[in-house]
Amino acid sequence: MSVLVAEARKVPAFMRRDFLVMLSYRAAFAGDLFYIAIQAVMFGFVAELIDPSKLPSYGGVPASYFDFVMIGVVITTVCTVLLQRVAMAVRQEQMIGTLEALLVTPTSATTVQVGSVAFDLVFVVLSACLYDRLMDS
């Protein structure tokens, strides 16, 4: 078994931890869902202002305003996660006193960093799917 595979098997443990932490803060989780719904409604109203005939088509498939919004929201969120979440996760581990315990385990620093953002990246995809469902209805 290679070292890469062994380290990759540790990432689901980080994801499980972050999922359980998210569920333990129910108000923040509900706030995130509410924020997604408010953004979807806001972009829906803005989309009504855009003339669909002015939007391009790609490969014969007409694009909508929401297609462009989704790309922007996902790219912005992924960049935010990748640029800020690792530093925030390290700081959070430091504040609650578990950073030292985490660093003395046989887990590489790269795995700790990847594991710290893995759940957030999955959550971005799920949020994008929720946006899509809200805008289709």
Q: Taking 90 as the threshold, does the pLDDT of residue 98 lie above it?
A: no
Q: What is the pLDDT of residues 44-67, one digit of tens each?
A: 888 888 888 888 888 888 888 887
Mean pLDDT of the 96-104 span: 87
Number of domains comprising the chain: 1
- Split at pLDDT 50, 70, 90, the class of 1 is low
Question: What is the pLDDT at residue 73?
Answer: 83
DSSP string, the chain: --HHHHHHTTHHHHHHHHHHHHHH-HHHHHHHHHHHHHHHHHHHHHHHHS-GGGS-EETTEEP-HHHHHHHHHHHHHHHHIIIIIHHHHHHHHHHHT-HHHHHTSS--HHHHHHHHHHHHHHHHHHHHHHHHHHHH-
Question: What is the pLDDT at residue 27?
Answer: 92
Q: Taking 90 as the threshold, does the pLDDT of residue 15 lie above it?
A: yes
Q: What is the pLDDT of residues 30-49, one digit of tens each?
A: 898 888 889 888 888 888 88
Question: Domain span at residue 102?
Answer: 3-136
Mean pLDDT of the 5-14 span: 91
Question: What is the pLDDT at residue 136?
Answer: 67
Q: Taking 90 as the threshold, does the pLDDT of residue 92 lie above it?
A: no
